[in-house]
Amino acid sequence: MAKRSNPDQPTPVEEIMADIEKIIDTQIEVILRRAEKINEGNNGIICLINIKDIPELEALRKTLGKREINLDQKQAIKILKIYKPGTGQKEFELQKKAHEILTAANVANTARIPSPIMFRDVAIETATQDRLNTMGSKSNSNRAEVIIMDYIPGDDLATFLFREAVKMLPNYADNPESVDQYDFQSLYRILSEELKFVVPDRSKANMEQAEQQSFEHNMNLVYKFLQQTGYTKKPEKIELLQKIETQIRNAVNLLNQNGLVLRDGHQRNFLISQQDGETQVYVIDFGDARAFTGQMTESVYEEELAFGVTKKYPHDLKVPNELAVLSERHEKKLFNPEDISKLKEKYQRSPDFQKILKKLQIKEIDLETASKLILGKVNSFQNTAEGLVALIFVTLELNLTSKEEATEVLRTHLEKSIGEKKNLLVKALQSL
């Protein structure tokens, strides 16, 4: 075999592949100029495009067809809001891994993953960047990270729940079909006025955390409204909520068992697709996901940042646990006054309980810290979940906390609970 005279010179095959890459990148920019925005998340803009219907993209369709990538159906395009080299590639690989895990498991009643098609980090012109900025991009770079995946019609879980809540309002109950046409922002505005949503505290240094806290507060108002208006007493609604909860829980458990954690259990990251009378959930965001090896511990939900700051991520079971509380409300698993009295009497005799309560009374600690101390007293309390519930009811009786704070603390610990401990915390939440 003859040797190449210049090893650094590309071979004919390499030149062909380079030309193909250029074609793909050029055509991706056409996609960015033609795609229609359909949704928006914390870290990305979601657009819709049908490549086969755009003559300008015929070269891309043929090129990718040779790679056995079929673009005959609609595609969803995710454009990361902030350009940070490597971020999009990592998200794409984790989505691909998650898709492979759930596809291989082939378990019934499980959420799915939209099939990831390709990832590109492309150079873009100023006009394209300007268009992305009008859609919500926060990047000033002349490059963009783009993930192309299968398009799944439907609404994210937050939009779905907001729509269900608006339909329960007197002004909209007689014409629910019209509510189906409202987008998330329209639904948010209606409920914000009706339920008195809070807005993020702009004075806080960590705006991401402030936005997350306000969203969680407002989401709890929606849950409470759905319960109070009788939504969760309707058998068909209970069945639907339980189906959604089961699919998310099963998918999360499978991913965790196979070394992948989502770390962004947010209602807008689960898509509800209802086609031909069937409901199917999809996990649609892997921006904060990470792979891990060995035993899964709570440390996967923490990340050390600069200056000794630790970032804490939401637990993967957060959303399914909240849906479990919502859909089980009708069963009225409540603590009656006698149960509460017995619990308080039982734990108020404990010296450890009294020490923790005293610290609360003098405001040395808050309820969240107190709850962690209670849960850590394994030797003092035969049932730490019972101890936490007793603490909640005692502090409420003494006006040391509010129902809102107590609810938030219970929800936080519910995310990490299983079995009888989970049942006790669910029962306490339903009793508040």
**pLDDT tens figures, 66-119:** 777 777 788 999 999 988 999 999 999 999 999 999 999 999 999 999 999 989
Q: What local confidence, expressed as pLDDT, does residue 418 receive?
A: 63
Q: What local confidence, expressed as pLDDT, does residue 4 receive?
A: 47
Amino acid at 391: L
Cα dihedral 41/43/45/48 (nearest 10): -80
Q: What local confidence, expressed as pLDDT, does residue 248 receive?
A: 96
pTM for the full model?
0.76
Whole-number CA gyration radius for the chain = 25
**What single-letter DSSP state applies at residue 147?**
E
More confident residue, 283 or 344: 283
Q: How far is CA 363 from CA 356, 357, 387, 406, in A?
A: 11, 10, 20, 16
Tell me the percentage of the chain whose pLDDT exceeds 70.
90
Query: Which residues, in sequence order, are CB contacts of 79 under 8 Å at separation 6+?
Result: 32, 44, 45, 47, 132, 135, 137, 144, 145, 146
Q: What local confidence, expressed as pLDDT, does residue 52 receive?
A: 84
Size of the chain in residues = 432
More confident residue, 373 or 7: 373
Q: What local confidence, expressed as pLDDT, does residue 8 receive?
A: 58
d(CA 315, CA 353): 28
Cβ–Cβ < 8 Å for 430, 329: yes
9 pLDDT above the threshold of 80: no
In which region does residue 294 sit, left (phi positive, over 0), alpha (psi from -120 to 50) or beta (all else)? left
d(CA 283, CA 156): 9
From 31, 36, 37, 40, select the one nearest 118 (Cα to Cα): 31
**pLDDT tens figures, 146-191:** 999 999 999 999 999 999 999 999 999 888 899 999 999 999 999 9
Of 233-247, 278-292, 386-400, 404-418, where does mean pLDDT reach its minimum?
404-418
pLDDT bucket at 205, cuts 50 / 70 / 90: low
Q: What local confidence, expressed as pLDDT, does residue 298 receive?
A: 81
Angle at 342 between CA 339 and CA 345, to 5 degrees: 150
Collapsed DSSP state (helix, strand, coil) of residue 286: coil
pLDDT (mean) for 259-268: 92
382 pLDDT above the threshold of 70: no
Query: What tokens does 395 get?
Result: 């502090």
More confident residue, 20 or 429: 429
Across all residues in the chain, what is the average pLDDT? 86
Q: What local confidence, expressed as pLDDT, does residue 342 receive?
A: 81
Amino acid at 64: L
pLDDT (mean) for 344-359: 85
Q: C-alpha 48: how far from its chain's center?
A: 21
Cβ–Cβ < 8 Å for 40, 46: yes
Angle in degrees, 0-180, between the axes of helices 367-376 and 351-361, rounded to the nearest 10: 170
pLDDT (mean) for 322-345: 74
Q: What local confidence, expressed as pLDDT, does residue 222 receive?
A: 96
Handedness of CA 161, 163, 165, 168 (dihedral sign): negative
d(CA 215, CA 225): 15
380 pLDDT above the threshold of 70: no
d(CA 269, CA 283): 6
pLDDT (mean) for 270-278: 92
Q: How far is CA 275 from CA 153, 237, 432, in A?
A: 9, 17, 37
pLDDT (mean) for 211-222: 91
Element (H, E) at 278: strand 278-283
